[in-house]
Structures are given as C-alpha cells and as structure tokens.
Amino acid sequence: INSNNFLDEIVQNVYKVDGREITLIDLWGNDYNNYLSLNPIATLSILNRNLSFGKNINEYDKKRFHAKTILLENITLNEDNESSLSTLSVTVKRYPGLSKQIIESAYKSIINYSYQITKIKSEETVSFIRTQIKDIEKSLNSAENDMIEFLESNNSIQSPALIVKKNRLETEISLFSQLYISLNDQLELAKIEEQDITSSIYLLDSPKIHPLKSGYSLLKGYIILGIITYIFSMLFYIHFMFFESL
C-alpha cells in the first residue's frame, strides 16, 4: 500500500459520494493549503510540505500529493503471522460508504498487481525455456550429424574403439533427445501458466462498514476537552499571578 503507483490509482479512481461521482483528488486535494487546524503540528506539517514543493509542481500535482498523503494516513494493512490473513482497513470521516468503495478499489488493484507479476514471471520462464530448447536442438542436430558422418566413414564397425565411439554418440543423441522432449513439456506447462488469470489472493470477507464511528468517542472527547481546558486555565492563572506579583 506504500507503492506510489497503487496510491495514484486509488486517488484517481472515481467514487460515488453524496450522489455525485468524484475522485479523492477532488475530494481532498483542495485542502493541501488549508492551514486552519486545531492541531498545530498538523498545520506546521502542511506548511513545511508546501514550502518543500518544487517550482515545477503544478496545482493538480499538489492536490494529488495531498490526497495520497491523506489516503496513506488512513489506510492500514494488518497481517496475522499465524494464519497469514491480511486485513485492509480504511477510515474516512463523514463518508463511511466511501471507505467501503476504497477498499473494493484497493482489492482490485492488488489482484491486478498480483496477476501482472505472475504474468511477467511466466513470460520470463517461457522465454528462458525457448532459449534452452534452441540450444539443445543445436546440440542434438550436431550429435546426429556426427553419427551420420561416423556411419558413412565406417561401413564395418568391428573394432572395440569404433563400438565404444558409436555407443558414445548414441548416448549423446539419446541424452539431447530426452532433454529436448522434457523442455518442450515444460514449455507447454509454462504457456498454460502464462494464460492462467487466477490469483493466489482470495477475498475472505467482503468490505463492510464498521458499526462504530471512527475517531474519539463522546466520553473520550469530553475527557480530552477537559484536560485541554485545565491546561489553558492553569497557564492563564500562572500568567495572571505573574503579572500580579510585579
């Protein structure tokens, strides 16, 4: 999921949000220069990133980069070491239905990537076997020509040396013939695998919207708000007492 191509594909796909069709670039990209945030660290991060953009980066690329950043922050892939089961999760505030669509799109992208990798490996295997077949075929033809030349030069094969040489040539021809047949069988299997569109990745559970809302719960929100209020109150009190003592 950290692949740049994967993120590009996901943010450029069209999704249905509130009855309209829109990409994640259009949905999130406009906020790439939005510095209004309660989190000062987030504001500084956006400012620092925008200052780091190159001069040749256009408006669309900035929006796309921002959309990919948001997606990467809100998508997680967890793998169980015991079962090798992977779980893909996406959190999108205000649009839970969009999370489901993104997961579906991500799954299709992963399947397509897996297929492309398998296809490339199969093509490499087919190409390698074909090269080996050509080499073995040359060796087989050469051994057969040596046998023809030997038989034409020796009408009567009676001496032990000629018998041994004939046996060696026959063994060599037999060996190359077996290799040639075996490689052709492997080539046919590789061609079948090359056309195989099945994937080793299977969807165990279809994407579902989590019953609980993302983000802080009401209770947790009140607690955090209370802590922040207390801190600001203490700072204000210290500031007030400091000036009173002057």
Residue ranges of alpha helices (H) inside 75-205 are 96-153, 160-195
Look at residue 233 in the predicted model and tell me its pLDDT.
79
State the pLDDT at residue 152.
87
Which CA distances in Å does 141 have to 27, 65, 137, 138? 66, 60, 6, 5
Residue 204 to residue 126: CA distance in whole angstroms = 32
Residues β-bridged to residue 75? 90
Tokens read off for 108: 């299709």
Residue 226: per-residue pLDDT: 74
- pTM of the complete model: 0.61
Report the sign of the C-alpha dihedral through residues 54, 57, 63, 66, in that order: negative
Cα 15 from chain centroid (whole Å): 21
Quick one: pLDDT at residue 143? 93
- List the chain residues with pLDDT less than 70: 1, 35-41, 196-222, 224-225, 237, 239-246
